[in-house]
Structure 1
Amino acid sequence: MDIAALPTKGERTRAHIVATAASLFWKRNFHGVSVDLVADTAGVNKATVYRYFADKRDLALAVVRYNGAVTLEVLFASTFDRFSEPQDRLAAIYRQAYLIHRDMHGESGDIYGCPIVGLALELGQEMPEIRSEAQATFDQVEAHFIQIAKDAIAARAVTGDSHTLGRTLMQLLHGALASARVAADPGRILDAGRASLALTGYPDTSILPQEIPA
């Protein structure tokens, strides 16, 4: 093991503060969370937060980057590592998204939607750098969906333009998360997953069940 590659105590503390703020901003939104609350929830003092972040806006930017990295790893990178067929990748993406929101609903009785979109909509006008970070993540999400579309077209499961289909698949995921949030119903995510499978030429949507038991 390369000891020099291990995170320092300061890096671990900073990462812990960011993860704590990410959870709070997701559940309560940016303006509903104070630096005091972030510090208390993280188990550090307020001065420690300001040691790593100039202000709450600086912390919000770190949170958007964190949310983007987590989303890309959990929903896409790990899925693409495990599966090669386009229908299996789509099913895995939607299954994981559903499970995250199902568990969230079980714990809180509510659903909070996409944390990246939430902050981008709340802060995008006053903090254009937030919007830029969110868009950078969504560009990578779209690239993954375009690859799925290319593979489906190459397999002759569907015809059309891979970029148009990939963007449509991304918009379906966005819509699914928004719909699930408004209805407090994680099942809406599976509905969108089945629609995505059909769009890519895989009408047998039984690969995604109606509900996944806890």
Structure 2
Amino acid sequence: MNSPATLTKGERTRAHIVATAASLFWRRNFHGVSVDEVAQAAKVNKATVYRYFADKNDIALAVARFNGEMSLDLVFAGSFAEFSAPQDRLAAIYRQAHCAHAQTATENGDIYGCPIVGLALELGQEIPKIREEANRIFAQVEEMLTRIARDAYELRGTKADPASLGRTLTQLLHGAFASARLASDPQLILDAGNASLTLIGFPDTPILETELTQ
């Protein structure tokens, strides 16, 4: 992802509109938000929005890509950069997911799940490119989780197929987001994280920082 300092004024304006739309679509869904509302929230006029996007569907595709880049860069790549042990990487991924859900629960009284899945489920048939984008993103997620599985197996001297466990970890992550959203309970993210850590053979690895200091 490009640094804001390297972007032109037009690129910064476009990125700001996308980030604003991403927040609105996540909280209220695509069909519940108008282009006028995106423009108003972004503090630009409607003509400016249409200068960068052909229509609202074009905004949605840009939002899907934005959400994917943010998740892959901040959550997954960030966890890999900060930690080397597979269990610590997995715990960090779930810690960030839990913190994000807990924050929205505190601020808004509700949680919204994974913005990538939410948009793909809403628009996957209507805008197939969004489904394709979501699949591309989660293929990279599965690749990272498979790497965690492989490293965990090597660390523990286990002979097994890391690709199979990587798929299982990915599906468990999907389920965590869906369950937490339905129940409006961020604790379910932690439950899935603990289950994932057990699956890779490290059930005693703490996820929350408070657990690390106890």
Greater mean alpha carbon deviation, residues 95-104 or residues 158-167: 158-167
Task: Name the counterpart of 1:194.
Answer: 194
Corresponding position of 2:76: 76
- Is the contact between residue 86 and residue 152 of structure 1 (CA under 8 Å) also seen in structure 2? yes
Alpha-carbon deviations, 1:113-158, whole Å to 9, x = none? 0000111011101111010000000000000000000001111264
Shift in Å, 1:211: 7.8
CA apart distance, 1:159:
4.2
CA displacement at 1:210 relative to structure 2: 10
Task: Structure 2: give runs of 5+ residues left out of the alignment.
Answer: none
- RMSD (Å), alpha carbons: 1.5
CA distance in 2, matches of 1:87, 1:157: 15
Matches within 5 A, 1:146-161: 146-156=146-156, 158-161=158-161
For the Cα contact (< 8 Å) 2:87–2:197, is it kept in 1?
Answer: yes
Sequence identity of aligned pairs in percent? 66
8 Å contact 1:143–1:166 — kept in the other structure? yes
The answer for the alignment partner of 2:174 in structure 1 is 174
1:157–1:25: structure 2 CA closer, same or farther, 3 Å change rule?
A: farther
Whether 2:52 is the aligned partner of 1:16: answer no
8 Å contact kept, 1:79–1:93: yes
Distance 1:157 1:40, change over 3 A: farther
Cα deviation digits, residues 44-86 of structure 1 (max 9, x gap): 0000000000000000000000000000011101110010101
Separation in structure 1 between the aligned mates of residue 75 and residue 157 of structure 2, nearest angstrom: 23
1:157–1:200: 8 Å Cα contact kept in structure 2?
no
Unpaired stretches in structure 1, ≥5 consecutive residues: none
Shift of residue 203, structure 1, vs aligned partner: 2.2
- In the other structure, the counterpart of 1:54 is 54
SS at match of 2:156: coil
Q: Distance in 2 between matches of 1:195 and 1:99?
A: 18
1:6 to partner: Cα distance = 1.8
4+ long deviations beyond 6 Å: none
Q: Which amino acid aligns with 2:125?
A: Q
Structure 1: distance between partners of 2:181 and 2:66? 21
Query: Within 2, Cα distance between the matches of 1:167 and 1:138?
Result: 10
Looking at structure 2, the residues matched to 178 and 59 of structure 1 have their Cα atoms a distance apart, in angstroms, of: 24
Distance 1:69 1:106 in 2: 25
Relative to the length of structure 2, the TM-score reads 0.93
SS of equivalent residue, structure 1 residue 155:
helix
CA distance in 2, matches of 1:178, 1:210: 24
Amino acid at match of 1:141: V
How far apart, in 2, do the equivalents of 1:73 and 1:208 lie?
20
- Aligned residues of 1:141 and 1:170 also touching (Cα < 8 A): yes
Q: Quote how far apart the aligned CAs of 1:208 are.
A: 2.3
Count of aligned positions:
207
* Counterpart in the other structure of 2:207: 208
Q: TM-score, normalised by structure 1?
A: 0.93
Partner of residue 109, structure 1: 109
8 Å CA contact 2:87, 2:202 repeated in 1: yes
Label 1:61 to 1:115 Cα distance change in 2 as closer, same or farther (>3 A).
same
